[in-house]
Amino acid sequence: MQDLLRRYGPGLTLIMALMVAFWLLMLVIIPNMTLFEQSFRPYLPVTEVGGPRDTYSFNNYLKVFDGSIERSFLGFTFTIPVHVLTFWLTIWYSMVVTVMCFLLAYPLAYYMAKIVNPRSLPTLILLLFIPLWVSEVLRAFAWWIILAFRGPLNWLLLNLGLIEDPIRWTNMGYTGVVIGLVYTYVLFMLFPIYNAIQSLDTNQIEAAEDLGAPWWKIHWRIVLPHSKPGIASGSVMVFMLSAGSLLVPSILGSTTSQWFTQTINQWFNDALDWNTASAYAFLLLLLCTLFVSLAMWVFRVKLSDIAK
Amino acid sequence: MSAGIDLENVCCDFGTFRAVDNANVSIKPGEFFSFLGPSGCGKTTILRMVSGFIEPTEGVIRIGGEDVRGKRPNQRPTALIFQNLALFPLMPIWENITFGLEVRGVDKATRRRRAEELLQLVDLHGAADKMVSQLSGGQKQRVAIARALAVEPQVMLLDEPLSALDLKLRQHMRAELRAIQQRTGVTFIYITHDQGEALAMSDRVGVMSQGRIQQIADPREIYNNPVNGFVASFVGENNIFKGEVQQVADGMASFATPQGTFRARLGDLAGRDGKLYVRPEHTLISATAAAENSVPVTISDISFEGNFISVHAVSDSGAVLSAELRNDGSATMPEKGAKAYMSFDPARAAILPDANVRS
């Protein structure tokens, strides 16, 4: 702040401070507070808003427990509220997406940071970035085309003789959604890990090899521990973005895949019940945050590691 | 326990650049051998070829008589100590030291015991559970040595490991390294650009320049009888005279220079031009001209170095000369601006070719 004042003078500093304040207050805090406040009030006809029935309660939050269905899993049959099931499936498949992003990103990040010729690195990064310039909607539809019944992926697999009949990719539960989310968010995993591995002294890798370590041991004991903060920050980003994505599940989802954000969207746009929708949205935010904190505690990652 | 190393016609190219050119050296088991040279002379490349991080473009490297071509660093009986040590900052000291044993599947209790033994050996007991960041430079140094010794290598390779330490510590670690080498009997190959380190610690020294080994000999031989001008000037100081060889007799030659005609030992010129080299400590100062090899000079500067006094002078023809006088209290101090004569014993001066480099 002192620095800003000295460099730009009081006028410009005030304008900048006001703009940041406007951004935070008008575009982040007030809308969220409004929705948060609404989430505790019932959905009422306009004439009754502010009337005697308009009281605060947790009823909107408790709606997730409505409408149980029967499911069986690993031989156990149990009933579970449909929205809770959706929530757990969202968390579970977001984790699947996170793990798959890690499995894809880690070798590539290592390759970029330690193996590739530095002269071809900019080309490689550009090739990774170009797809990001295309809108997310178009990229999701591109996958929709790739995964189509008579699409290029089935054509390729058929011609390679790997499959006998085309596969209905977008009608296999969450397959399409997972593929789409991995593709959309893998770079959010790649770059933090790349940064972390890049900061590792190559001599340490060589020292480990010189002491007789095979390649997997070098990764397990030297490279992975060093890149843990990068992996953690990439995982948190991919997980939160996946769990909060609406577009990809909407486009690449099948008849049997329901994402929790789609449920929220239905409350907003189909039921026009913004109150319950807000309650569900805050529930997602809260539970995802809790889940991430739990995962960080399990993997002994500190918040300060991620912020690096 | 320790193995000899033979380099036979070893070359290493990086693209069109030849980093090491036709290196031939035979290092005996248990020897402390140093490669000495300025940065970029190819000494680190030799070390990396021996440890297996680089394959030679041509030639053969044998460790204990066995050709190691195609063997990765983790398959060679060598242990490398890196210039920046490359300790593992996320592991405690004892895990650092026994990482090589962990890799070999040694159980934890044995490893722990071995770590304590090695810490004892490098005089660092009680540090087993500390982290790397808690140690000082010299202590880190010892941990790196212990880590390399843990895998019981037949050859230890050291890449300027003392360069990051301050002078006092460096001198102390020199003695320590030498002691550890003698205690363990492991062959040491030591890379340095510091001539004092190389001379003080080594059994033999290989002086390198521009990818070529210039001379391999024991430290005294290197200093007293350098084979060429590069070795003479890289290892120690010299007064250098340009000129031409005239009569030669019994290994001595007369050498005509702008400062006069001098007599000196004739090195192996092999048809090339040479220069005359004489050490400042072999250069004498006197008030009157000596019988031979005498140059009239004007004293230009005197610097007192403590144990010796360095006298700089300019000859009448403009050549800059220097002489070192021992500070034993007996010598009369010359005065700045005074006229004097600098002279040298013909047996202490040599006419040598320039460095052996690719044309």
| Chain segment A207-251, per-residue pLDDT in tens | 999 998 999 999 999 999 999 999 999 999 999 999 999 999 999
> Could B103 and A206 be called an inter-chain contact, meaning their C-beta atoms sit closer than 8 Å?
no
What letter would DSSP give residue B252?
A: E
A275: in domain:
yes
> Could B103 and A207 be called an inter-chain contact, meaning their C-beta atoms sit closer than 8 Å?
no
Whether B331 has its CB under 8 Å from any CB of chain A: the answer is no
B359 pLDDT above the threshold of 70: no
The residues, any chain, with a CB within 8 Å of residue B15's CB and separated by 6 or more, are none
β-bridge partners, B278 = B239, B349
Whether B78 has its CB under 8 Å from any CB of chain A: the answer is yes
A45: in domain:
no
Whether A3 has its CB under 8 Å from any CB of chain B: the answer is no
- Rounded-to-integer distance, Cα A226 and Cα A11, Å: 45
Radius of gyration of chain B (CA): 24
Read off the pLDDT of residues B193-203 as tens digits, 9 standing for 90 and up: 999 889 989 99
A52: in domain:
no
Read off the pLDDT of residues A74-121 as tens digits, 9 standing for 90 and up: 878 888 898 999 999 999 999 999 999 999 999 999 999 999 988 999
Read off the pLDDT of residues A273-282 as tens digits, 9 standing for 90 and up: 889 999 999 9
Interface test with A, best of B75, B99, B133, B154 (most A CBs within 10 A): B99
The residue type of A289 is T
Contacts 24+ apart (CB under 8 A), B194-201: B194/B36, B194/B160, B194/B162, B194/B163, B195/B36, B195/B234, B195/B235, B195/B236, B197/B34, B197/B162, B197/B170, B198/B34, B198/B36, B198/B235, B199/B223, B199/B235, B200/B174, B201/B32, B201/B34, B201/B174, B201/B177
A308 pLDDT above the threshold of 60: no
The residues, any chain, with a CB within 8 Å of residue B83's CB and separated by 6 or more, are A203, B159, B160, B161, B163, B164
Q: How many CB atoms lie within 10 A of CB B200?
A: 14
Q: How far is CA A204 from the centre of its chain?
A: 33
- Rounded-to-integer distance, Cα B294 and Cα B274, Å: 20
The Cα-based distances of B132 to A23, A35, A302, B87, B97 in angstroms read 45, 51, 21, 7, 11
Whether B49 has its CB under 8 Å from any CB of chain A: the answer is no
Task: State residue B99's pLDDT score.
Answer: 94
Which among A100, A99, A178, A188 has a CA at the least distance from the CA of A143? A178
The two beta strands, A76-81 and B78-81, are: unpaired
- Rounded-to-integer distance, Cα A133 and Cα A41, Å: 41
Whether A114 has its CB under 8 Å from any CB of chain B: the answer is no
Chain A residue numbers touching B90 (CB-CB < 8 A): 225-226
Q: Residue A155 is part of which domain span? A: 68-307
Whether A214 has its CB under 8 Å from any CB of chain B: the answer is yes
Chain A residue numbers touching B83 (CB-CB < 8 A): 203
Whether A224 has its CB under 8 Å from any CB of chain B: the answer is no
Place of tokens 């019932």: A42
Interface test with A, best of B71, B76, B90, B95 (most A CBs within 10 A): B90
Residue of A nearest to B146 (CA): A211
> Could A226 and B90 be called an inter-chain contact, meaning their C-beta atoms sit closer than 8 Å?
yes
Chain A residue numbers touching B99 (CB-CB < 8 A): 208, 211, 213, 221
Task: State residue B155's pLDDT score.
Answer: 93
Total residue length of chain B: 359
Three state DSSP letters for B265-297 = EECCCCCCCEEEEECHHHEEEECCCCCCCEEEE
The Cα-based distances of B329 to A192, B299, B306, B311, B332 in angstroms read 67, 20, 12, 15, 8
The alpha-carbon gap from A305 to the nearest alpha carbon of chain B, in Å, equals 14
What letter would DSSP give residue A272?
A: -
**Sheet containing strand B260-266, strands side by side:** B239-242, B274-278, B349-353, B260-266, B252-257, B244-249
Chain B residue numbers touching A210 (CB-CB < 8 A): 51-53, 73-74, 78-80
Domain count, chain A: 1
Interface test with B, best of A211, A223, A305 (most B CBs within 10 A): A211
Nearest CB to A209; choose among B73, B88, B151: B73
Q: Is the dihedral of CA A33, A39, A42, A46 positive or negative?
A: positive
- Exposed (0-12), middle (13-18) or buried (19+): which is B40, by Cβ within 10 Å? middle
Nearest CB to B84; choose among A201, A209, A210: A201
* Fold entry, domain B237-353: OB fold (Dihydrolipoamide Acetyltransferase, E2P) (2.40.50)
Element (H, E) at A89: helix A82-110
Q: Is the dihedral of CA B140, B144, B149, B155 positive or negative?
A: negative
Dmax of chain B from CA atoms?
77
The Cα-based distances of B24 to B154, B191, B193 in angstroms read 20, 16, 20
Q: Pull the structure tokens for residue A40.
A: 């505790």
Within chain B, all domains assigned CATH 3.40.50.300 are found at 5-230
The residue type of B21 is D
Chain A residue numbers touching B100 (CB-CB < 8 A): 211-213
Which among A105, A184, A94 has a CA at the least distance from the CA of A137? A184
Q: Model confidence at B130, in pLDDT bands (50, 70, 90)?
A: very high
CATH number at residue A221: 1.10.3720.10
The residues, any chain, with a CB within 8 Å of residue B134's CB and separated by 6 or more, are none
First to last CA, chain B: 42
Whether B88 has its CB under 8 Å from any CB of chain A: the answer is yes
> Could B151 and A214 be called an inter-chain contact, meaning their C-beta atoms sit closer than 8 Å?
no
Chain B residue numbers touching A225 (CB-CB < 8 A): 90
A8: in domain:
no
Superfamily covering domain B5-230: P-loop containing nucleotide triphosphate hydrolases (3.40.50.300)
Whether B99 has its CB under 8 Å from any CB of chain A: the answer is yes
B219 pLDDT above the threshold of 90: yes
Whether A131 has its CB under 8 Å from any CB of chain B: the answer is no
Least confident among A160-169, B31-40, B127-136, B234-243 = A160-169
A40: in domain:
no
Place of tokens 């050291």: B158
Chain A residue numbers touching B73 (CB-CB < 8 A): 206, 209-210
Residue of B nearest to A209 (CA): B74
A51 pLDDT above the threshold of 80: no
Whether B103 has its CB under 8 Å from any CB of chain A: the answer is yes
Nearest CB to B100; choose among A203, A204, A212: A212
Q: A–B: how many Cβ contacts below 8 A? A: 58
> Could B103 and A209 be called an inter-chain contact, meaning their C-beta atoms sit closer than 8 Å?
no
- Rounded-to-integer distance, Cα A266 and Cα A277, Å: 8
Task: State residue B330's pLDDT score.
Answer: 67
The residues, any chain, with a CB within 8 Å of residue A47's CB and separated by 6 or more, are none
Q: How far is CA A171 from the centre of its chain?
A: 22
Residue of B nearest to A228 (CA): B90
A170 pLDDT above the threshold of 90: no
Average pLDDT over residues B119-141: 88
What letter would DSSP give residue B329?
A: S
- Rounded-to-integer distance, Cα B229 and Cα B37, Å: 13
Chain A residues 145-204 with CB within 8 Å of chain B: 201, 203-204
Q: How many CB atoms lie within 10 A of CB A209?
A: 23
> Could A207 and B100 be called an inter-chain contact, meaning their C-beta atoms sit closer than 8 Å?
no
Which among B199, B145, B148, B147 has a CA at the least distance from the CA of B171? B199
A24: in domain:
no
Q: Model confidence at B331, in pLDDT bands (50, 70, 90)?
A: low
Least confident among A60-64, A259-263, B164-168 = B164-168
Read off the pLDDT of residues B270-324 as tens digits, 9 standing for 90 and up: 767 789 999 999 998 888 888 888 888 999 998 888 888 889 999 888 888 999 8
- What interface predicted TM-score (ipTM) does this complex get? 0.80
Nearest CB to B88; choose among A204, A214, A217: A204
A55: in domain:
no
Chain B residue numbers touching A214 (CB-CB < 8 A): 74, 103
Least confident among A6-15, A22-31, A227-236, B50-59 = A6-15
The alpha-carbon gap from A207 to the nearest alpha carbon of chain B, in Å, equals 7
The alpha-carbon gap from A214 to the nearest alpha carbon of chain B, in Å, equals 7
A101: in domain:
yes
The residue type of B333 is M
Q: Pull the structure tokens for residue B153.
A: 């290598």
What letter would DSSP give residue B145?
A: H
Q: Model confidence at B98, in pLDDT bands (50, 70, 90)?
A: very high
Chain B residue numbers touching A212 (CB-CB < 8 A): 74, 100, 103-104, 151
Which among B270, B312, B280, B234 has a CA at the least distance from the CA of B43? B234
Task: State residue B165's pLDDT score.
Answer: 79
Element (H, E) at A289: helix A274-298
Percent of chain B with pLDDT over 90: 52
Q: Pull the structure tokens for residue A219.
A: 């990764």
